[in-house]
């Protein structure tokens, strides 16, 4: 498997804790919508070694498109910027069309799309208990949308108290929740909104099956390859296993946010038969807290980095990181940040050691308010080292209060030295390596000159001081070439028409818009139309049509009762949006037909 680097493709900013992106939520002309900003960045991300982009939650938040609408307060499971509710059609990040265009551009650059799923709670409901959820349907009616919810879908609580110490809930806590019994969960400051009862909700199976179906719909709509799971400590593993092992999610990468500094607890959640049975990875919070201490504790011992964190015991299931949207902004959760001048050393560790690293967009981007002007050169260099050199198991080579050295023993070999001192370079003699005797080694960090192993494969190494983020070296054999860029991929996105979704059914005598897909010129577009012919007469047909960027007709096909699953194929002769429409033909004026249009196309690599 090729090495992977995940990018967290969003961050918070400004004086408001809940501001979620560097684009204005109300004026896309002043600054681009976030989905478009990411699309404009896609080619650059692929070129520097990013392989997957973790998007912020795509479903509309209870705050609609306001500044506070990060997306973690999910309202409607079937609104990804296509329904006029909660004050806007678009979400905080843009419309459904902008989202699907972004996903297609990411795929055209060979990047994987990672959906952020908030499955623990919902917000924005009505009623005194805020547990009544009704959604707009495909025609704009205020109710009739898919997967409505009532208080039987949630663990009950007193409406005026999120922490009912002695309350025995009407809907008890689900089995398989890491936070344990109801009182423990509700007293641990994790009440974010009405808490979904995945297993014990009523009627039986309604919540679990409904949430699985909603995730599968979103996955098809966007063409996602992986998932980030928010706050897994509040979610039953019985539900998570059903989600990740069934149908569309089976085999897809998933990483859970298990916010805890105890690596054994997290590793047990990952590996135990009582928990996730190795179906899910986890963010390496234990290592993050270690790196946080490295930046802020004057007495930090660098030797404790030896096989530190979750990556030290389970590197294949650990997603390592230096910062994320919460650690960077939530002083109630993390009183101190990793200081910008210490981030190069922290990234040098996670991008050369074991585990799958995650780079924070704010650390990489050079946009106003970001740290890329300081950190980007180091990150680009370290990502290149990760993708082209770092491989295999780790052997520690030197440990002291200020220095930690280790060697990755796979591939060409990589000897890494980290120096925490801001004032003193470290001169080490006779460092054991796995390199052959009399081998020249080059510092791919660019901080020190070449060195040569002696007759026993040992080296003398100088690690510069950490002043200006220079305190690391990355030695390997000279003249290592670069891996090929990820191969461009087609997008396979599905657009479903149904009365209770966001796209209406095909209707008799009415041509309806389905979607627009953003296509590269001189590429093939395939649209597979599927439908149930229940209630059809021998004369019933569906007309599927495709129009080009200029509005001219490109192709059309008439579908009869036996044609479900047939394909309409066309060629995109120019770059731009291609519009899909559908019309039913039937003598009954009220005839409608649900359908599914699966479109395969190649997007441009840029907007």
Q: What is the CATH number of the domain that holds 460?
A: 2.60.40.1180
Last residue of a domain, one of 365, 388, 411: 388
| Euclidean distance between CA atoms 15 and 476, whole angstroms | 44
Confidence at residue 30, expressed as pLDDT on a 0 to 100 scale: 56
Do 424 and 573 fall within a single domain? no
Q: Domain for residue 142, yes or no?
A: no
557 DSSP β-pair partners: 544
Confidence at residue 28, expressed as pLDDT on a 0 to 100 scale: 47
What is residue 427's three-state secondary structure?
A: strand
Do 249 and 374 fall within a single domain? yes
Contact 544, 557 (CB under 8 A): yes
Do 242 and 347 fall within a single domain? yes
580 DSSP β-pair partners: 515, 546
Give phi and psi for 239, each to the nearest 5: -70, -45
| Euclidean distance between CA atoms 92 and 58, whole angstroms | 9
Containing domain of residue 440, as a range? 394-476
Q: Domain for residue 253, yes or no?
A: yes
Give phi and psi for 580, each to the nearest 5: -105, 135
Q: How far lies 369's CA from each of 53, 323, 373, 583, in Å?
A: 21, 15, 10, 49
Q: Domain for residue 348, yes or no?
A: yes
| Euclidean distance between CA atoms 234 and 198, whole angstroms | 10
- Tell me whether residue 462 is exposed, middle or buried, using C-beta atoms within 10 angstroms of its C-beta: 0 to 12, 13 to 18, 19 or more: middle
Contact 93, 34 (CB under 8 A): yes
Residue corresponding to tokens 């559908």: 582
472 DSSP β-pair partners: 418
Q: What is the CATH number of the domain that holds 233?
A: 3.20.20.80
What is residue 2's three-state secondary structure?
A: coil
| Euclidean distance between CA atoms 374 and 287, whole angstroms | 23
Q: What's the DSSP call for residue 233?
A: G
Residue corresponding to tokens 């950190």: 375
| Euclidean distance between CA atoms 192 and 240, whole angstroms | 19
Confidence at residue 468, expressed as pLDDT on a 0 to 100 scale: 84
Do 344 and 236 fall within a single domain? yes
| Euclidean distance between CA atoms 193 and 557, whole angstroms | 47
| Euclidean distance between CA atoms 176 and 241, whole angstroms | 11
In which residue ranges of the chain is pLDDT below 50?
14-20, 28-29, 158-161, 163-168, 181-189
Measured at the CA of 21, the angle between CA 19 and CA 78, to 5 degrees, comes to 90
Q: Domain for residue 46, yes or no?
A: yes
Q: How many domains does the chain have?
A: 3
Do 318 and 429 fall within a single domain? no
- Tell me whether residue 203 is exposed, middle or buried, using C-beta atoms within 10 angstroms of its C-beta: 0 to 12, 13 to 18, 19 or more: exposed
Confidence at residue 190, expressed as pLDDT on a 0 to 100 scale: 54
| Euclidean distance between CA atoms 130 and 75, whole angstroms | 11
Confidence at residue 398, expressed as pLDDT on a 0 to 100 scale: 97
Do 383 and 414 fall within a single domain? no
């Amino acid at each position: 498997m090729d090495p992977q680097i995940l990018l967290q493709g969003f961050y918070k900013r400004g004086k408001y804790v809940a501001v979620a992106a560097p684009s204005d939520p109300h004026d896309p002309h002043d600054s681009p919508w976030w989905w478009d900003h990411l699309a404009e960045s896609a080619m650059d991300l692929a070129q520097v070694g990013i392989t997957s982009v973790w998007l912020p939650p795509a479903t509309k938040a209870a705050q609609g498109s306001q500044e506070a609408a990060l997306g973690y307060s999910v309202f409607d499971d079937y609104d990804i910027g296509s329904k006029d509710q909660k004050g806007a059609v678009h979400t905080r990040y843009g419309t459904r069309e902008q989202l699907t265009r972004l996903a297609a551009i990411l795929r055209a650059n060979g990047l994987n799309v990672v959906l952020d799923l908030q499955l623990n709670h919902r917000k924005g409901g009505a009623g005194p208990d805020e547990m009544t959820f009704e959604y707009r349907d495909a025609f704009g009616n205020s109710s009739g949308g898919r997967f409505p919810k009532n208080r039987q879908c949630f663990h009950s609580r007193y409406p005026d108290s999120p922490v009912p110490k002695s309350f025995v809930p009407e809907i008890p806590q689900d089995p398989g929740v890491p936070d344990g019994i109801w009182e423990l969960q509700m007293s641990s400051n994790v009440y974010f909104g009405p808490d979904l009862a995945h297993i014990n909700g009523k009627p039986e199976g309604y919540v679990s099956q409904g949430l699985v179906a909603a995730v599968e719909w979103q996955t098809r709509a966007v063409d996602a390859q992986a998932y980030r799971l928010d706050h897994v400590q509040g979610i039953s593993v019985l539900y998570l296993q059903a989600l990740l092992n069934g149908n569309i999610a089976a085999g897809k990468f998933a990483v859970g946010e298990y916010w805890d500094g105890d690596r054994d607890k997290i590793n047990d959640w990952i590996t135990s038969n009582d928990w996730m049975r190795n179906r899910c990875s986890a963010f390496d919070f234990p290592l993050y807290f270690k790196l946080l201490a490295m930046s802020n504790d004057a007495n930090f011992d660098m030797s404790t980095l030896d096989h530190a964190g979750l990556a030290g015991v389970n590197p294949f299931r650990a997603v390592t990181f230096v910062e994320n949207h919460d650690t960077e902004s939530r002083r109630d959760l993390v009183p101190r940040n990793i200081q910008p001048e210490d981030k190069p050393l922290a990234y040098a560790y996670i991008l050369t050691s074991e585990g799958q690293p995650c780079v924070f967009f704010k650390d990489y981007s050079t946009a106003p308010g970001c740290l890329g002007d300081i950190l980007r050169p180091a990150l680009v260099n370290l990502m290149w080292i990760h993708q082209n050199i770092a491989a295999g198991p780790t052997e520690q080579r030197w440990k002291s209060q200020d220095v930690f050295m280790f060697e990755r023993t796979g591939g060409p070999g990589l000897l890494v030295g980290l120096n925490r001192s801001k004032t003193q370079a470290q001169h080490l003699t006779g460092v054991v390596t796995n390199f052959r005797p009399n081998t020249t080694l080059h510092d791919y960090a660019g901080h020190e000159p070449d060195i040569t192993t002696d007759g026993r494969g040992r080296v003398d190494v100088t690690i510069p001081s950490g002043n200006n983020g220079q305190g690391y070296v990355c030695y390997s054999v000279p003249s290592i070439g670069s891996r090929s860029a990820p191969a461009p991929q087609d997008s396979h996105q599905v657009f479903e028409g149904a009365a209770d979704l966001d796209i209406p059914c095909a209707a008799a005598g009415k041509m309806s818009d389905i979607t627009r897909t953003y296509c590269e010129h001189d590429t093939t577009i395939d649209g597979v139309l599927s439908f149930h012919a229940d209630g059809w007469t021998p004369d019933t047909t569906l007309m599927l049509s495709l129009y080009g960027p200029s509005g001219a007709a490109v192709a059309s096909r008439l579908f009869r009762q036996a044609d479900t699953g047939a394909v309409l194929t066309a060629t995109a002769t120019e770059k731009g949006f291609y519009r899909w429409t559908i019309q039913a033909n039937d003598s009954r004026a009220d005839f409608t037909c649900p359908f599914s249009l699966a479109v395969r196309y190649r997007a441009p690599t840029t907007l």
